[in-house]
A and B are shown apart, each in its own frame.
Chain A
């Protein structure tokens, strides 16, 4: 068999693989795999039941929303990290099979990312949205707050799936990756706020609002929390710092914060993509 014969055999079926919608093709099959999994159903059911319970027993819609903010900010990053890490390890052999096809690594990574992040986001939106549709949303302002909560939840899902992928691609050992992922969550959720509070307490006689602001922006969960609490006008209730925040984020500041939240999606995604491209399987 001559090389010219071979190239003609190859070129007949090689062309479509590099088309930009390859990522969407991968995502489509990954999504149809994941929406049939029990853990995704459980994830959706958790938000549905929690939201429903808060609306039934948590007082008016406003208070239910406020409690729901805490639940979402607590659960979404953790689950995105855990699902993201285990998903990539479970798909390891299949990923190798897909990489052996005429498919670019960037498109495959994007497809895998969307394949998990889209179902997780939809499960969250359905889980918190359906009970509100059922019980009814209070007023327009609450509707907007619910939308902002949904938006922040999706942004955190994308961000923490990206962080999980970055960790999983860079770590060979599954248990260590899972440990790292949970460690990141512990630091960002618990340790971080604790340290910031200690710092604030120690330096309370100094003008530290700006550094505190920077610290909050540096942590995507805190950033989302600030964005949401500002919706409740609760920022002003948290003393002088809260007042500074309200002043800063008021109006255009909220857009800046949203932009930074998007950076929290973009940077880990790009770092993960880079690691995935150079990885030896």
Chain B
């Protein structure tokens, strides 16, 4: 689904990605983990074309990531949802559909109903609560049935009910054969959703493979413990996975 070879990126003297090799398998949920500053955000931004890598290649569905059209196959949910304050959620949904050239029968609005967003659709976005804006953010990522979903801390800012709905949706996407790449600090969420783990340390892949393999290799029975052990084995000052 997603193949990354020898990806490098430096910001000035700071090498953030030092040759990333990884493969994201289709129809699975892959968690990108690592201490702060390990390069998770930069890696995701390279996949999205927000950041230009210095070297290496990215292939999506067997095709090199060039130009802009490939992003029609990606749904992105950023961690922070900040939208133009005077537009409504309905405006925003229309805007992205317009930009993607998606007609009404191509969109999936199930989450709007599940999140009970209908009463908020026509209010200015600045008047909505952070949690409600985050729901809008989630709707936008899933709405155009992308083959690859990139979710950056998807449940942050969501209440437990909404968080549950979103996790069910992620599981349903996987069942439908779609591919999900996510980052998260919530270990319970990771245990519930993750099939594969990519662990980054200082711009390199420290581990990449199925959760079972990570557990086996670390001799742990829980993902949280395994993550902690991988982190301890690298002398990096960090706060969380």
- Residues of A at the B interface (CB closer than 8 Å) are 1, 3, 6-7, 9-10, 12-19, 22, 25-26, 29-30, 32-34, 36-37, 91-94, 96-105, 278, 280-281
Contact = CB atoms under 8 A, between A and B. Distances in A.
B74 interface: yes
B134 interface: no
A102 B87 contact: no
Contacts of B61: 3, 6-7, 10
Closest 4 CB pairs of A and B: A16-B101, A3-B62, A6-B61, A36-B86
Given A94-B84, A280-B11, A1 B78 contact: no
Interface stretch (B42-50, B108-116, B201-209, B230-238): B42-50
Contacts of B85: 33, 37
Contacts of A9: 73, 145, 147
B210 interface: no
- For A16, A98, A104, which residue has the most chain B Cβ atoms within 10 angstroms? A16
A1 B62 CA distance: 11
A1 B177 contact: yes
Given A91-B84, A99-B48, A100-B76, 13 more contacts: A3-B61, A6-B60, A7-B62, A7-B63, A9-B73, A9-B145, A9-B147, A16-B100, A16-B101, A26-B99, A32-B91, A33-B87, A281-B50
Contact of A14 (B50, B69, B87, B95): B69
Contacts of B96: 101
A36 B221 CA distance: 55
Nearest to B92: A29
Given A17-B101, A103-B99, A281-B50, A29 B87 contact: yes
Contacts of A13: 72, 100-102, 106, 144
Contacts of A97: 76, 78, 83, 140
Contacts of B71: 17, 100-103
Contacts of A37: 85-86
Contacts of A98: 99
A104 B147 contact: no
9 contacts: A3-B61, A6-B147, A10-B72, A13-B72, A13-B102, A17-B71, A18-B67, A102-B72, A104-B68
Contact of B100 (A1, A36, A102): A102
A98 B98 CA distance: 12
Nearest to B125: A33
Nearest to B53: A280
B50 A102 contact: no
B169 interface: no
A244 to B, nearest CB: 49
B80 interface: yes
A280 B45 contact: yes
A94 B62 CA distance: 29
| Residue in A18, A91, A101 whose Cβ sees the most chain B Cβ within 10 Å | A101
B91 A101 contact: no
Contacts of A34: 86
Nearest to B70: A10
B157 interface: no
B1 interface: yes
B48 A100 contact: yes
A19 B68 CA distance: 11
A17 B68 contact: yes
B82 interface: yes
B91 A102 contact: no
A1 B144 contact: no
Nearest to A40: B86
Contacts of B87: 29, 32-33
A280 to B, nearest CB: 4
Contacts of B62: 3, 6-7
A83 to B, nearest CB: 14
